[in-house]
Amino acid sequence: MITLSNLTKTFGDSTAVNAIDLEIANGEFFSMLGPSGCGKTTTLRMIAGFEEPTSGRIELAGEDVTWTSPKKRNVNMVFQNYALFPHMTVRENVEFGLKIKKLEKARATERIERMITAVRLEGFESRHPAQLSGGQQQRVALARALVNEPAALLLDEPLGALDLKLRKEMQLELKSIQQQTGTTFVYVTHDQEEALTMSDRVAVMNGGNVEQVDDPRSLYEKPRSEFVADFIGTSNLLKVEVETWDGDIARAGLGDGLRITCRESGDRASAKTITVRPEKINVHAGPVDPGQGSLVRGRIIENVYLGSMTQLIVELSTGERLIVHELNDDSGGPSEAGTEVYLSWATDHSFVIEGAAKAPDQQAALPAGAESL
């Protein structure tokens, strides 16, 4: 298990990682997702031991390793550029860690061969890295790290250099290797799709802060902050004055029987914004009874055919715009531009989240993250 408590790293007067807390369970596929410069690499390098924290604590399997040298930590890193040793063959690369640890010959050979088979590199053992394709180099880097049987594998955008098709293949392969070996993976990426499809849990980072840690489904369905809602998939954000709270359900009337209801997700006090995903919205020609759900009125101002669905942009009387995705299955409502329509969605599909009011403070406190966004 990896535990980060109150971990902070500053470079000069800019904060790269701002007092983050994370717990990563054994055998978990854990991703850190966020835009460029949000501190993913810095966090990973602190876990590996290549960067000294400014403050905070790092524990591996219950042991405080905050000041332990990287070679003594039972974690291994897969570098973004692979960092394969160019003067060594594939086999020598994979062998390196075991040679350093002076593992007994027979056991080392067995482990190396098992690893080379696991990453499907049989027959390439005597090649040098320069003679391999990008995907093959990636697999050597993986084998070289995994052969040490680390408690956790730290991967820094390992697929960043590969083309889209190979990326998809390697995603599946990485996931299956992770499941086979049961190794904890801490996976850094700025590709949300990659994070969502591969991970057990994802930490969304922004400007040195962890915005939300959740399983992929919850991240998508129940984003806790505007940033997460916006960063993961397409999301509609609406400014709302909450009138009443009914348990964890917030209500806001808009007059004319129109209203918004949604569930609590973030911090109730600062709740000013609600989120709803485009595909959760239903379009109607006239007013309908939304039951417990929300109902708003607007006018279609744009209509884009996207193959399996149609994307509508609906402008509300407040001037706010909603993106609506309608499946092209002949069951949908009106979609002509200029049409007045009613939109409804279920309470469970929209959430009050931490409003935009909080963002400016964050940026002021964090010049490093803000500048690179």
Ligand X SMILES: Nc1ncnc2c1ncn2[C@@H]1O[C@H](COP(=O)(O)OP(=O)(O)OP(=O)(O)O)[C@@H](O)[C@H]1O
Which residues lie near other proteins (CB under 8 A)? 48, 50, 69-72, 76-77, 79, 81, 83-87, 96-97, 100-101, 127-131, 144-145, 148
37 vs 293 by CB, closer to ligand X: 37
Phi, psi of 318 (to 5 degrees): -75, -5
68 vs 80 by CB, closer to Mg ion: 80
- For Mg ion (CB under 5 A), the number of binding residues is 1
SS3 per-residue string spanning 310-356: EEEEEEECCCCEEEEEEECCCCCCCCCCCCEEEEEECHHHEEEEECH
Q: Tell me which residue has tokens 């850094």.
A: 188
By CB under 6 A, residue 39 contacts ligand X: yes
∠ CA(187), CA(190), CA(192), 5° rounding? 90
* Smallest separation, CB 101 to other proteins (Å): 6
* Sequence-ordered list of residues with C-beta below 8 angstroms from that of 319, at least 6 positions apart, any chain: none
d(CA 112, CA 98): 9
80 vs 181 by CB, closer to ligand X: 80
One residue of 162, 300, 368, 370 binding ligand X per CB under 6 A: 368
One residue of 15, 18, 31, 41 binding Mg ion per CB under 5 A: 41
CB 146 within 8 A of CB 77: no
Torsion angle of alpha carbons 338, 342, 347, 352, nearest 10°? Answer: 50
Binding mask 277-316 for ligand X (x = CB under 6 A): ----------------------------------------
* Smallest separation, CB 39 to Mg ion (Å): 9
85 vs 245 by CB, closer to other proteins: 85
* Sequence-ordered list of residues with C-beta below 8 angstroms from that of 122, at least 6 positions apart, any chain: 116
CB 265 within 8 A of CB 228: no
Here the tokens at position 170 are 């390697």
One residue of 4, 28, 31, 42 binding ligand X per CB under 6 A: 42
**Kind plus residue range of the DSSP H or E element containing 92:** helix 90-100
Which amino acid, one-letter code, is at 122?
A: E
Which amino acid, one-letter code, is at 156?
A: D
- DSSP letter (8 states) at residue 220: H
Terminal CA-to-CA distance of the chain, rounded, Å? 31
**Burial label, 292 (beta-carbon count in 10 A; 0-12, 13-18, 19+):** exposed
Name which of ligand X, Mg ion, other proteins, none residue 190 binds, using a CB cut-off of 5 to 8 Å depending on partner kind.
Answer: ligand X
Looking at residues 183 to 212 of the shown chain, list those that interact with ligand X (rule: CB under 6 A): 190
- Interface segment toward Mg ion; rule CB under 5 A; list 19-27, 36-44, 309-317, 363-371: 36-44
* Smallest separation, CB 30 to other proteins (Å): 19
76 vs 236 by CB, closer to other proteins: 76
Name which of other proteins, ligand X, Mg ion, none residue 148 binds, using a CB cut-off of 5 to 8 Å depending on partner kind.
Answer: other proteins
- Interface segment toward Mg ion; rule CB under 5 A; list 38-46, 165-173, 256-264, 339-347: 38-46
37 vs 49 by CB, closer to ligand X: 37
Q: Tell me which residue has tokens 């990008």.
A: 134
**Burial label, 134 (beta-carbon count in 10 A; 0-12, 13-18, 19+):** middle
- For ligand X (CB under 6 A), the number of binding residues is 13
86 vs 319 by CB, closer to other proteins: 86
42 vs 209 by CB, closer to ligand X: 42
**In this structure, is the dihedral angle defined by the CA atoms of residues 292, 238, 330 and 193, taken in order, positive or negative?**
negative
By CB under 6 A, residue 38 contacts ligand X: yes
* Smallest separation, CB 53 to other proteins (Å): 17
* Smallest separation, CB 99 to other proteins (Å): 8
* Sequence-ordered list of residues with C-beta below 8 angstroms from that of 166, at least 6 positions apart, any chain: 134, 135, 159
**Positions that interact with ligand X (CB under 6 A):** 11, 16, 34, 36-42, 190, 368, 372
**Positions that interact with Mg ion (CB under 5 A):** 41
